[in-house]
Structure 1
């Protein structure tokens, strides 16, 4: 899995996605939750939002009750999570429902996630990656 992660780039991912075709597959995944929190301060500074993080240069008038303009941003954080369980899945603040049929076609392809795997959630109409994650030990979730 680590070799796949290290070698995975946008070109390879797009090649894989372009080779995919629609098919009916029985999928078995364990309950799991992946989450991460990271700071955005340096990325925002690199995008040009430097004054916002400066106690001398930030200008955020009208926010403080006393009318002073002494407020500045010390840091910015992003937290994302994905939880999958018997009731469906929840990613960040979006919820999806998984429908389960009453009968099973035994001739259908089957995928059982009983070893480490990567997961990707992509919005296909605009080809945008919304979430990526890794489940290192699916049997111990």
Structure 2
């Protein structure tokens, strides 16, 4: 599954009511955004530079993005993909894969 095939599948989705059973699952992930932010040239916040906000010597030590997806239903015995999409723009915000739902 590549980006083009995924975008095509999402583009061709239509609303339909279905009976769907999902296993209970909980996925959590997180990673630091400090390096990507620095690579964009935004560096001053990591060494201070908040004099206009506070007299204290403030700085940002890290920027952490955490993702949490939980499904509380039971029933599937097949692998599946899931994604979270921003409705008005269609931008995919998060995508995941459940390889072994029976475990």
- Tell me the TM-score normalised to structure 1 length: 0.62
One of 70, 79, 85 as aligned partner of 1:83: 70
One of 24, 33, 41 as aligned partner of 2:17: 24
Higher alpha-carbon Rg = 1
Separation of aligned partners in 2, 1:129 and 1:17: 9
Residues 112-121 or 76-85, more deviating: 112-121
- Tell me the TM-score normalised to structure 2 length: 0.81
Separation of aligned partners in 1, 2:89 and 2:13: 17
User: Runs of 5+ in structure 2 lacking a partner?
Assistant: none
Aligned to 2:45: 52
Aligned to 2:6: 13
Q: Deviations over 1:23-73 (max 9, x none)?
A: 33221111111110100001111222111123xxx211244xxx33x3222
Report matched runs for 1:60-75 at 5 Å.
60-61=50-51, 62-63=53-54, 67-68=55-56, 70-75=57-62
1:121 aligned to 2:69?
no
Q: What secondary structure does 2:14 align onto?
A: coil
Q: Which has the higher strand share?
A: 1
Q: Deviations over 1:53-106 (max 9, x none)?
A: 23xxx211244xxx33x32222111111011114xxxxxxxxxxxxxxxxxxxx
Is the CA contact (8 Å cut-off) linking 1:30 and 1:85 kept in structure 2?
Answer: yes
Residues 19-28 or 117-126, more deviating: 19-28
Q: What is the aligned residue count?
A: 101
One of 20, 28, 33 as aligned partner of 1:35: 28
